[in-house]
Amino acid sequence: MQDVLDALKKAIEEGQAKDAAKAVRNALDGGAEPGAILRDVMVPAMDEVGRRYECGDYFLPEMLISARAMKEALAILRPQLVATDVRPAGTVVAGTVKGDLHDIGKNLVCMMLEGAGFEVRDLGVDVAPDAFVDAVRGGGVNVIALSALLTTTLPNMKVTIERLKAAGLRESVGVMVGGAPINGALATEIGADGYAEDAAGAVALARRLVGAPAESPRGAT
């Protein structure tokens, strides 16, 4: 079994989607517990991908193929997680703000968050402030993640946060922001709870906002 789990970890770290899918099937067939596969193998694998990105070994393409491998393995694992009642690390509603159609960064953040065990509801691009408000009003949301690439759409982040306040929902969720024209100072200025400069940072930030440890707990694999 250890060989199978090691193969799964390596396939995710190296972005081999087909191998990852195969390994997760083998692990389930071998009787591994779904929650343990996610917690002890897959989430640590994505943490390692994030670490390699942070230290400059990995770049956008490497991150994307690892996230793809994670996604495909998760698609196989998810029904088993649901069946065994494994809870997500938290629920994040993500989207690119009104007027902005750019999504490569946002998609990567969503994939990395899923890889870290979060449930992600991706509202897509050009998302109206009220759509975020409605999603939060629906309940069960811990964090909203706002993305923007354009200088001209940056103000819509602030508008979204103000709408949440007006709806009386601001205190019920953490708000994280990211994207090219944003920095930590601006994030504070517009009333966000945090800013991350990249997808790996977004995972750490989301964990902080839901009160989880900065790194996943590492079990024996």
Partner 1 sequence: MNGRERVRKTLRHEEPDRPPIDLGSTPVTGIAASTYFRIRRALGLGEQPVTIGEPFQILAEVEEPVRRALGVDTIGIWNPTNMFGFRNEGWKPWALPDGTPALVPRDFETDVDADGNTLIYPKGDRRARPSARLPKDGYYFDAIVRQGPLDEDHLDPQDWAEQFEPYSDEDLRYLEDAVTRLYRDTDYALVGNFWQGGLGDVAHVPAPGLTHPKGLRDPNLWYEYLLTHADYIRGIFEIQADVALRNLELYRQVMGDRIEVLVMSGTDFGGQQRPLCSPKLFDELWKPLYRKLNDWVHAHTPWKVFFHSCGAVAPLLDRFVEAGVDILNPVQCSAAGMDAATLKAKHGDRLVFWGGGVDTQKTLPFGTVDEVRAEVRERVRILGKGGGFVFNTVHNIQARTPTENVLALYEEVRAAAFPLAPAARVP
Is residue 151 involved in binding partner 1 (CB under 8 A)? yes
C-alpha 116/C-alpha 130 separation (Å) is 27
> Would you say 60 or 75 has its CB closer to partner 1?
60
Q: Shortest Cβ distance from residue 144 to partner 1 (Å)?
A: 20
Q: Across 66-108, where does the E strand assignment appear?
A: 91-96
Residue 6 CB neighbour total at 10 angstroms = 13
Q: What backbone phi and psi angles, to 5 degrees, belong to 121?
A: -110, 110
C-alpha 42/C-alpha 109 separation (Å) is 16
How many residues bind to partner 1 according to rule CB under 8 A?
A: 27
Kindly write out the interface string for residues 157-186 of this chain, putting x where it contacts partner 1 by CB under 8 A and - elsewhere. Answer: -----------------------xx----x
Q: Shortest Cβ distance from residue 198 to partner 1 (Å)?
A: 6
C-alpha 16/C-alpha 165 separation (Å) is 43
| Alpha helix stretches (DSSP H) within 99-209 | 104-115, 129-137, 155-166, 184-189, 199-209
> Can you say whether residue 196 is alpha, beta or left, with left for phi > 0 and alpha for psi between -120 and 50 degrees?
beta
Is residue 68 involved in binding partner 1 (CB under 8 A)? yes
Q: Shortest Cβ distance from residue 182 to partner 1 (Å)?
A: 9
The answer to whether 155 and 126 have CB atoms below 8 angstroms apart is: no
Among 28, 65, 81, 131, binds partner 1 (CB under 8 A): 65
Q: Shortest Cβ distance from residue 33 to partner 1 (Å)?
A: 31
Is residue 15 involved in binding partner 1 (CB under 8 A)? yes
> Would you say 81 or 150 has its CB closer to partner 1?
150
Among 30, 59, 84, 140, binds partner 1 (CB under 8 A): 59
Beta 143-147 vs 194-195: how paired, if at all?
unpaired
Is residue 191 involved in binding partner 1 (CB under 8 A)? no
What is the contact surface with partner 1 in residues (CB under 8 A)? 15, 56, 58-62, 64-65, 68, 98-104, 107, 126, 150-152, 180-181, 186, 197-198
